[in-house]
Amino acid sequence: MPMTADSTEQSKPTKRRYNSPVRARQAAETRHKLIEAGVKLVQSFPDWDWKNLTFKAVGQKAGISERTAYRHFSTEQQLREAVMEYLVSDSGINLEGLELSNFGDTTGRIFSYLSSFAVNPQLVKDPTLANIDQQRRSALLNAVTRAAPSWSDDDQKNVAASLDTLWDTPPFERMIAAWDFEPERASRTIRWMIGLIEDAVKNGNKPGAD
């Protein structure tokens, strides 16, 4: 009896999807190698600009082709997010468990972890601006010394350095950009923080004291 088209279709063997555990493990290992290569690149960057964290750079670092890297991350932004997720996990910092009471210790661990990176803090390089910056730091240290003359040089510098970060522009700009503060609100908040440090000095509460 001649076979009909339907019977011919039915007689064809059904292709089975082949999900190989070996292939899945190899894919996971490749992805992990790419992320680890990205982490090593970030740790070697001289600053926090991740524009050089590309498929090509990560692939070269991992010894894997750029095309293969693209298969594991559809965009370089996804690659960077995976690297950041790895860094956060590696740091041991649990932001979900953050409380005000452990914020100081958490901040210390963050800075301790970041110190393993090659990022080189940059001071002002322009001679005129550098001279003004030095004058500001000297004036601030002198003010702290007059307010706490019996404190050690280290304690005086700790206070002066703390205050120096508050009259610099990054805290002010971050409040405006990240927290959507109005300039006056940002200024008022920073003045409040400065007041807390002033009170601590008046009360003999040294930085790092129990």
Q: Integer distance in angstroms from the first to the last C-alpha of the chain?
A: 96
pLDDT at 3 over 60: no
Contact 146, 161 (CB under 8 A): no
Predicted local distance difference test score (pLDDT) of residue 12: 52
Burial of 38: CB neighbours in 10 Å, binned 0-12, 13-18, 19+: buried
Confidence class for position 83, pLDDT limits 50, 70, 90: very high
Segment 173-184, tens digit of pLDDT? 999 999 999 999
How far apart CA 114 and CA 148 sit, in angstroms, is 32
Highest mean pLDDT pick, 101-105, 132-136, 162-166: 162-166
pLDDT at 2 over 80: no
Segment 55-78, tens digit of pLDDT? 999 999 999 998 888 889 989 999
How far apart CA 124 and CA 108 sit, in angstroms, is 25
pTM (two decimals): 0.69
- Token pair belonging to 96: 């979900």
Mean pLDDT over 112-132 rounds to 78
